[in-house]
Amino acid sequence: MAEGGCLCGAVRYRLEGPPLRADHCHCRTCQRAAGAPVVAWGTWPADRFAWSRGEPTSYASSARGERWFCPGCGTPLAFVDRGDPTLVDVTLASLDEPAAFPPECHAWTVSRVPWLELADGLPRHDGGRPKDEGGGP
């Protein structure tokens, strides 16, 4: 069991088991939604995720994507692709122990900002994670 939540503590969630995958996303939508050059995400089956305190607010960030965040402090918490609601992506930095599930690759590096260089040795993909690596669009 893993837990996480927002900066102000009003919204909390619980997760069961490890993520199906974890990666750093460099897409422009994530950059703008988080106000950061990269966002680390973990993907869990939706039936292993539950809100445990508070009510998050959602925003349709694209035709298919819905982002969940705290209405009080604005912390980005989760993402659901309405085309596949069986999965939920969680911002790894919002976990109480974010080091527990390290990202395995970088996705959408075609949009990465050139002034940030991460020399972690992880695989990089111009687009989403290839299907042969456990996911991707």
Amino acid identity of residue 1, one-letter, is: M
Burial bucket for residue 82 (CB in 10 Å: 0-12, 13-18, 19+): exposed
Q: Give the predicted TM-score (pTM) of the model.
A: 0.90
pLDDT tens-digit profile, the chain (137 residues)? 999 999 999 999 999 999 999 999 999 999 999 999 999 999 999 999 999 999 999 999 888 899 999 999 999 999 999 999 999 999 999 999 999 999 999 999 999 999 999 999 999 999 987 654 444 33
Bridge-based pairing of strands 21-25 and 49-53 is unpaired
Report strand pairing: 49-53 vs 12-15.
Answer: antiparallel
Beta bridge partners of 69: 57, 76
Cβ atoms of 80 and 60 within 8 Å: the answer is no
Complete domains list, the chain, with CATH: 2-114 (2.170.150.70)
